[in-house]
Homo-oligomer: A and B are copies of this chain.
Amino acid sequence: MVGAGFGGLGAARWLAQKPGIEVTLVDKRNHHLFQALLYQVASAGLNPSEIASPVRGLFRNYRNVRVIMAELTGLDAVRKIANLDGEGGLEVAYDALILSLGGETNYFGHPEWAQFAPGLKSIEQALWLRGHVLEAFEKAEKCRDEQERRRLMTIAVIGAGPTGVELSGAFAELRRHVLRWDFRDIHPELARVVLIEGGPRVLAAFPPDLSEAARRDLEGLGVEVRTGERVQEIGQGYVLTDKGRLEAHTLVWAAGVGGHPLAERLGLPTLAGGRVPVQPDLSVAGLDGVFCIGDMCFCAGADGKPLPGMAPVAMQQGPVAAANALAFLQGRPTQPFRYEDPGIMATVGRTKGVAVLGKRHISGTAGWFTWLWHHLLRIVDFQNRALVSLRWGWAYISWKWGVRLIHRGAGETQEIKES
């Protein structure tokens, strides 16, 4: 079992309850991370520890689960051995293997943009972004050059999927409600938050009426929403699109997530976008006893279209892959995976949201409550659920977001580890 995201955790938990099964869970991080809330860390609303839980703690009471913090570096599917930590590292023999490594930010052929416009997939990136934005306001307060001040106070988010929408909404509120009262020379509430999207509408995965509602809510928060605008070039502090050049001190790439780069290095089959194609039972064709789930896999839904890289997909795949791995070990036939769409949702600031549940389209405050409820439930441990509720409740009332710390200063974006 490799990867402690929603997919890997679910699979490990399912198997941990089967007598006689020994589970080894490998992850290069020591924590499970709720990536969908990373934007809250980046916008100073939450602490990293409130959306991340130590993996060992989650399996403390399962004596048949062994957790290893290590990086998968090699795979011998014939001898059934996984290599960890490269040369001189561990060799772990397996009977069945479930790969759930997640995805990585995809720059669509422009990896050099990563240094100027990082993605938002890890705690490091979120903390960097938080420090970078807060420090930009500090610099602007000291700055005497009006043009430079405007550049420092401009945030451009590229890509209007859920992450881009939620992040730009959170930054818009941060500047308008939280930072507004903190400065004397500058007016943070006038800072620009620009959301750039190549497609014709925000939240393309949602029905058009909800895209429209989300756009309205974003504009209500003062976000400049620019759809149908394609990025041509990104450099230090600017983005060039087919509509012109935008000077922005802070650039965030939320335009795409692809498969995991390790898939190719391990010799797994991959499709365009780097995802690993799986068979209906989530196994990888040609590799005996290897299953692949979550963002790293390419899994066709009932309509033949690939399932999106979202937590609910991985959460449903985990137990199915685990059951199929057990069936494989016991020589029983495996079952195909069928995705049951629990709906999709996104939040726009602290009071608005959009959600699709079955045939119902929900927007506005009701959409926000729907989002809140589902996301609180997905936080894996009780203490964090309580802390997040408390923090959100307090921030809701007071508009004092507590986590406005700059530390590690303004490191170069190159330094930030994504994974």
Contact = CB atoms under 8 A, between A and B. Distances in A.
Interface of A: 29-31, 47-50, 52-54, 56-57, 60-61, 63, 66-70, 84-85, 89-90, 122-124, 127, 134-135, 138, 141-142, 179, 181-185, 383-384, 387, 390-391, 394, 398, 400, 402-409, 417
A405 B70 contact: no
Contact of A182 (B60, B179, B407): B60
B182 A142 contact: no
Given A30-B138, A394-B383, A404 B54 contact: yes
Given A57-B404, A404-B54, A30 B134 contact: yes
B409 A417 contact: yes
Contact of A57 (B84, B122, B182, B390): B182
Nearest to A185: B66
12 contacts: A30-B404, A31-B405, A47-B47, A52-B405, A53-B402, A54-B182, A54-B405, A57-B400, A61-B181, A123-B405, A127-B407, A384-B402
A136 to B, nearest CB: 11
Contact of A48 (B124, B183, B407, B409): B407
A181 B60 contact: yes
Contacts of A52: 405
Given A30-B405, A123-B405, A124-B408, A138 B183 contact: no
A417 B406 contact: no
A138 B57 CA distance: 13
A52 B406 CA distance: 10
Given A52-B405, A57-B182, A68-B141, 4 more contacts: A49-B403, A69-B142, A127-B407, A383-B402
A182 B123 contact: no
Nearest to A407: B123
A59 to B, nearest CB: 8
Nearest to A406: B30
Nearest to A391: B387
Given A31-B405, A54-B404, A69 B138 contact: yes
Contact of A70 (B84, B142, B409): B142
Contacts of A407: 29, 48, 122-124, 127
